[in-house]
Amino acid sequence: MGVLLLVLLLGLLIFHLGLCVWAIFKHFLTTDIPSVVQHQAKMRVMHCIMLYVISLANILEKMRICSLPRFVRFAQAIIFTNNKDPKVVVTDLHFGTIPVRLFQPKTMSCSPRRGIIFYHGGAGVLGGLDCYHNVCAFLARETDSVLLCVGYRMLPDYHYPVITSDCLNASIHFLKRLNICGVDPTQVVVCGDSIGGGVVAQVTQALVGQKDIPQIRAQVMMYPVMQGINFQLPSYQQNKRVPFFTWDLMFMFICKYMTIDLSWQDAMLKGTFIPPETWIKYRKWLSSDNIPESFKNKYQEPQFPGPFNEVAYLETKHLFDVGNEPILTDDEIVAQLPDLFLVSCGLDILRDDALLYKKRLEDQGVPVSWFHLEDGLHGSIVLFDKQPFSFPCSQKMLNAVVSYIKGL
């Protein structure tokens, strides 16, 4: 029995060592580290760990032991521990089936405070209330605001469109009860990063014209997901191999959340899933023509979209839902949107999503403040206090957001 146990342990050790070696080789063969990145060795180590975790999660999912999202969040929980902030009161609540976390400054205020509704990133795979706890506590404390973080339901049990619907429902519930939390109804900001940034746009657009709830004062988006149609924009080509959000990881997250088989990735990439009449209608908002020339370094204009594939369209047509593509909303709605503070990252595959939405709102006269980090990395905001894993861009982003909100 002891020999059998020893053989089993040795086998597991060899398996994990092999997986580590494979992750290292994959990193060096498939990843680019731009020269502007500070702490390149740190990035390489972190990305190798990330590849190892995702590869192990894929194996466990195929063996039907544990789903990829659950295992990845388990690994995430080891790194992202919550710090207790003595200046912030934290309360866990449920709005129906939606878990939320309320962050309130401990100090007394003689007048109602500003309110922030925060939607976290992670595409339904990563993220969560615990992962973003320290970010939210920092924002609440530094802006002296009451912050509500929405813990929308996630994969593998919940798919599109649950993230948007949960965030919208939780936001409406909160907006109708601002007085209970001591929030000034004229000073409510919606804020989010990555997919949460895209949800900021979706929720804000959905609330336009609703007279029975307070109007949103401003929207804050950090490296947002704004569209899932044109995957040949300059930033998708330039940054497709940059950690921590590569082309492969992006498509895996999109397909899992949207319940699209990953075999349609090539059709999505080349645009063959786009009906010709749809591209004619939306090209004015989605084309690389709208990206400033200064961002097109080494960009080669592709033949896009490719020859139409109706089967691919039928498998992916929910990507064209206007509720899922905030950049496609009618001008009439866009013109009524509140002020926008937009953070974009130079090393982010989604950089051009932000630039397209920026132009979209500016064309309709919406005030837009833009903060661009040339060395910014997708998802890095959650690392702002995670030494030694943090990057300079992490704190810069949060500081810029705090400065904007305090200036409203």
Domain boundary among 20, 41, 66: 66
Question: Both 262 and 331 in a single domain?
Answer: yes
Give the mean model confidence (pLDDT) for residues 33-60: 92
Order across the sheet with 368-373: list the strands.
88-95, 98-105, 145-150, 113-119, 183-193, 218-222, 339-345, 368-373
List pLDDT tens digits, range 215-234. Answer: 999 999 999 999 999 999 99
Question: Both 304 and 405 in a single domain?
Answer: yes
CATH of the domain at 122: 3.40.50.1820
CB atoms within 10 A of CB 397: 24
Question: Both 102 and 246 in a single domain?
Answer: yes
Terminus-to-terminus CA distance in the chain, angstroms? 69
Question: Both 171 and 305 in a single domain?
Answer: yes
Is 72 part of a structural domain of the chain?
A: no
Question: Both 55 and 154 in a single domain?
Answer: no
**Which listed residue (194, 288, 380, 394) is catalytic?**
194
List pLDDT tens digits, range 347-398. Answer: 999 999 999 999 999 999 999 999 999 999 999 999 999 888 899 999 999 9
Is 78 part of a structural domain of the chain?
A: no
pLDDT over 80 at 48, yes or no:
yes
Contact 358, 342 (CB under 8 A): yes
- What gap in Å lies between CA 101 and CA 134, rounded to an integer? 12
pLDDT over 90 at 129, yes or no:
yes
Is 3 part of a structural domain of the chain?
A: no
- 184 is annotated as an active-site residue: no
Question: Both 149 and 51 in a single domain?
Answer: no
CB atoms within 10 A of CB 307: 9
Is 340 part of a structural domain of the chain?
A: yes
Contact 313, 281 (CB under 8 A): no
Question: Both 100 and 130 in a single domain?
Answer: yes
Q: Facing residues of 95 across strands?
A: 98
Is 75 part of a structural domain of the chain?
A: no
Residue 243: what residue type?
A: P
**Which listed residue (348, 352, 380, 394) is catalytic?**
348
Return the closest-CA partner of residue 338 out of 372, 370, 361: 361
Count how many domains the chain has: 2
Is 74 part of a structural domain of the chain?
A: no
Is 2 part of a structural domain of the chain?
A: no
Question: Both 93 and 58 in a single domain?
Answer: no
Question: Both 259 and 317 in a single domain?
Answer: yes
Question: Both 333 and 308 in a single domain?
Answer: yes
- 294 is annotated as an active-site residue: no
- 67 is annotated as an active-site residue: no
Question: Both 107 and 28 in a single domain?
Answer: no
CB neighbours of 97 closer than 8 A, spacing ≥ 6? 153
- What gap in Å lies between CA 313 and CA 331, rounded to an integer? 26
Question: Both 312 and 164 in a single domain?
Answer: yes
The range of the structural domain enclosing residue 37 comes to 10-66
List pLDDT tens digits, range 168-218. Answer: 999 999 999 999 999 999 999 999 999 999 999 999 999 998 989 999 999
The encoded tokens of residue 337 equal: 């949107």
Return the closest-CA partner of residue 248 out of 36, 27, 37, 67: 27
